[in-house]
Structure 1
Amino acid sequence: MILGQNQYGKAETRVVRITRDGPTHHIKDLTVSVALSGDMADVHLSGSNANVLTTDTTKNTVFAFAKEHGIASAEQFGIRLARHFVTNHDPITRARIRIEEHTWGRIPTPGPKRHSFVRGRQETRTAQVTHDDGGWEVLTGLKHLTVLNSTDSEFTGYAKDRYTTLPETRDRVLATEVHAVWRHAAAPGTAEPDPATPWDGSYERIREHLLQAFATTYSLSLQQTLYRMGERVLQECPGIDEIRLSLPNKHHFLVDLEPFGLKNDHEVYYAADRPYGLIEATVLRDGARPRIPVDVTNLP
């Protein structure tokens, strides 16, 4: 038996680098996978780890390099990492760095602050129409609309018990993936859908109100932000009777860079995908009867 081609490394390290240029913030969001090859026969054949650079070390290197060197581009960042692993560890003769970059566009907002972002347009528009003896119900919605505020969010003053370990924070990244469904009012004086509704224009208008409410709310909790989003839609769109929002909290945790002699001044984050907080609520007009199902994420 002989050992053939082999490699090892850390896959899918999520690193988010925020550069704060006064009120204007810039974001780079990468998923980085490192694969290393070289003189690794002993670890396979005899179990000796003498030539093994741990995969945890490769993950830490990704975070540290994001802080020390920044991320000008995915290519530049990958070149820097690959050169480091091959030139600084003799047993490693080949490094392959695979990077996926998750693009964000700015949410245009009034005033000088520029710290609100929306993930490159990947959301899915949804619709559900029901007609029976009771009349009509027309639901429109969207899912997978990912948004992020790099500041103007805090989380303090919450209940604590013996199992609470989460520290309070006055400045955090707030990110979520919006799932929303809204119910259209019937035509005045009828139970029929309003034929004057500009369906495409209505969708774009409500999407924009959701984005603006998220971007302009100083958030004390994701629940508060959710309510402001729903409230704005109902205030600005009289043809909507009810909106239900489901907002998973896409946690971004500050990476502890002190073991590497580096200070992390709200710049480098680990984007965790699970477990996550899930905030859900319905906002409806006073007197309206709630009718949208609880689980909006499963609507077609």
Structure 2
Amino acid sequence: MSAGYLALSKPRHAAIAAGLALGFSLFAGPAGLQQARVAAAAQARPFHSQQRIAGDSDKARDAAAPVGLDRMSTGSVPTGVFGSVAFPFKPDALAQWQHMQQALDRLRREDCAGSTTCRTRMGLLQETVAAIADAPIAKKVDAVNLAVNKLLRYDTDANIYGTLDHWATPVETLTTGRGDCEDYALLKLAALRSAGLPAESLALVVVRDAKRNFFHAVLAVSTTSQTYILDNLRDTVLPDSALPQYQALYSLGAQRAWVHGYKRGSEFAMQKRPASLDKVLPGEGVANPS
């Protein structure tokens, strides 16, 4: 199984913007530095006026969707994400997922051992986390989503590790500077836990993108009003209700796992599910339901 089975004050704006710019100057060259400057300018805008910078091509839909999060308290893990009905289950990889929980707490420079690139990227992420320590939930989520999206370059497990199935820890991801969708989600999960969000409010959710017919993984953050999705395909955080193309398959929280289904009459209730979750490898290929 893949791992997917599973506004700020002006000084703080400046800290995040400077960190992003430094990261791109070190790892992405001139073109990346220009992207970082664009990202920093967007981060400096008022929170509720932010628009997506890059990612998904559905600009019209995202522009019309609600932008920005509420300031409510965190809620319990989102078992009904994307309009689904969730049932607890124990996947074969649950023990591996529980081991991953320990790795998610290793978000210090010392955890990078002798890797200079890891320590540098870790430092940039730590600057973002420190800058949002006292910020509302909305701004914590927005800042982490943007920072991780700009810090990493998308690549598949096959290209990075030579296998279709690799559980990349935050340290591994920051060492390579690359990752697939689940690696982005796991790093965001670790950063938000470090920023003070309770683990019980965060879940890695594996979905089928019905528009692209592609398996994908995102991070869900539950509040007392809605569930919000952090996605490597877009820099704007959206509520799950604004992403109707995502069919939840299963999710992993701090201590439990859920398999997701849909009520009779809903769009996804009529669609065939994968015969085995072992065939669901987010970011590695086109979904094959047989």
Taking structure 2 as the reference length, the TM-score comes to 0.26
Q: Which has the higher relative contact order, 1 or 2, with Cα contacts under 8 A spaced 6 or more apart?
A: 2
Taking structure 1 as the reference length, the TM-score comes to 0.25
Higher helix proportion (structure 1 or 2): 2
